[in-house]
């Protein structure tokens, strides 16, 4: 009888877990659907006005008149750049390296590119983009194209002042230089997490086998050195996770001992205010570093 009660109890726990997961998914979809429905209604009412200020439409209107960008659009972009830089300087602390962990199956490259450009604009030097399925890495050229496009749309013609060094493989070869202060954008996948630890351990074993080192030379600090050399970027101080899953999903397990994690519901239709709120939350947190 006790065994039967135990099985029933486990079944109830599974049902409760499934119910919570379904409720979270429905809330996220409902919020996204409502937001898009409202945006479409407003767009339908204000379409004539919106078209006048829309950069792509304005560009088409000026093709036969003048090849120079619209002064209004340029002023708007300059104002945004100034505001974003001011927001970054107003924060008590700003991460040097931020990770964007996408815990959702279908990435939106436009929204991810927006996040990257916002991070660059407020003064963050390193941006890592990670998803558990490796989809973004397989399509890194598409993400790069979106970053370049969003630089032009969000930052205007002066967007070229924000250099990007795009790194997407284990050798960290420079695939593209968009710009001269050179923020670094790196695409990560699960291969850069646990797999990199395995590869570093194998490298140490081979060095012992080849008598380049002895087993007494192998230590945690040596493994740490190998792992950091393979990444060639500082540890992330902040990781912003997008999605309903409460997990790091294998994001650089060796490098996040002191990393602050902040969760947002989704990266789809994420706003600059959402991202700034996460940076403000990080700036106000006290990291005791184990003390």
Higher pLDDT, 218 or 62: 218
Q: CB count, 10 Å around CB of 69?
A: 16
Q: Give the confidence band of 16 by pLDDT, cuts at 50, 70, 90.
A: low
* Contact (CB, 8 A) for 189 and 135: no
Higher pLDDT, 149 or 181: 149
Rounded to the nearest 10 degrees, the angle between the axes of helix 220-231 and helix 194-209 is 120
pLDDT at position 135: 93
* Contact (CB, 8 A) for 158 and 77: yes
The token pair that represents 144 in the structure block:
């790069």
Best-predicted range by mean pLDDT among 100-104, 162-166, 185-189, 233-237? 100-104
Residue with tokens 């409720």: 23
Q: Which residues pair with 23 in a beta bridge?
A: none
Higher pLDDT, 79 or 116: 116
pLDDT above 90 for 110: yes
By mean pLDDT, which of 213-217, 225-229, 252-256 is the weakest? 225-229
By mean pLDDT, which of 17-21, 99-103, 251-255 is the weakest? 17-21
pLDDT at position 65: 42
The token pair that represents 234 in the structure block:
């500082």
C-alpha span between 77 and 166 (Å, rounded): 23
C-alpha span between 97 and 287 (Å, rounded): 16
What are the start-end ranges of the E strands in the chain?
97-102, 126-131, 165-167, 184-188, 238-242, 260-264
C-alpha span between 135 and 112 (Å, rounded): 13
φ/ψ (deg, to 5) at 64: -90, 0
Q: Give the confidence band of 100 by pLDDT, cuts at 50, 70, 90.
A: very high
Q: Give the confidence band of 179 by pLDDT, cuts at 50, 70, 90.
A: very low
φ/ψ (deg, to 5) at 100: -110, 105
The token pair that represents 212 in the structure block:
């380049």
For the chain, list the domains and their CATH numbers: 81-284 (3.40.1180.10)
Average pLDDT over residues 55-61: 44
* Opening angle at CA 146, ends 142 and 151, nearest 5: 150
Average pLDDT over residues 22-39: 55
Best-predicted range by mean pLDDT among 63-77, 144-158, 214-228, 230-244? 230-244
pLDDT at position 93: 93
C-alpha span between 200 and 130 (Å, rounded): 21
Which H or E element spans position 221?
helix 220-231
């Amino acid at each position: 009888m006790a065994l039967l009660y135990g099985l029933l109890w486990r079944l109830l726990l599974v049902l409760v877990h499934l119910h919570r997961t379904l409720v979270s998914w429905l809330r996220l979809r409902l919020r996204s659907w409502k937001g898009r429905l409202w945006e479409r209604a407003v767009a339908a009412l204000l379409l004539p006005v919106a078209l006048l200020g829309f950069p792509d439409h304005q560009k088409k209107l000026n093709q036969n008149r003048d090849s120079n960008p619209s002064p209004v659009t340029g002023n708007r972009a300059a104002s945004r750049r100034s505001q974003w830089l001011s927001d970054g300087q107003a924060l008590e602390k700003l991460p040097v390296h931020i990770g964007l962990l996408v815990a959702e199956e279908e990435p939106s490259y436009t929204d991810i590119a927006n996040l990257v450009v916002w991070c660059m604009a407020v003064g963050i030097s390193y941006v890592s983009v990670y998803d558990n399925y490796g989809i973004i890495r397989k399509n890194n050229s598409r993400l790069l194209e979106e970053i370049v496009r969003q630089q032009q749309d969000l930052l205007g013609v002066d967007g070229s002042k924000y250099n990007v060094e795009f790194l997407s493989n284990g050798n960290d070869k420079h695939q593209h230089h968009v710009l001269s202060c050179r923020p670094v954008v790196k695409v990560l996948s699960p291969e850069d997490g646990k797999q990199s630890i395995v590869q570093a351990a194998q490298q140490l074993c081979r060095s012992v086998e080849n008598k380049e080192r002895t087993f007494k030379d192998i230590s945690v600090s040596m493994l740490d050195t190998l792992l950091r050399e393979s990444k060639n970027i500082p540890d992330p101080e902040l990781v912003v996770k997008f999605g309903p899953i409460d997990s790091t999903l294998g994001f650089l397990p060796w490098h996040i001992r002191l990393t602050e994690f902040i969760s947002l519901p989704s990266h789809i239709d994420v706003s600059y205010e959402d991202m700034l709120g996460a940076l403000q939350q990080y700036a106000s947190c006290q990291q005791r570093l184990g003390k």
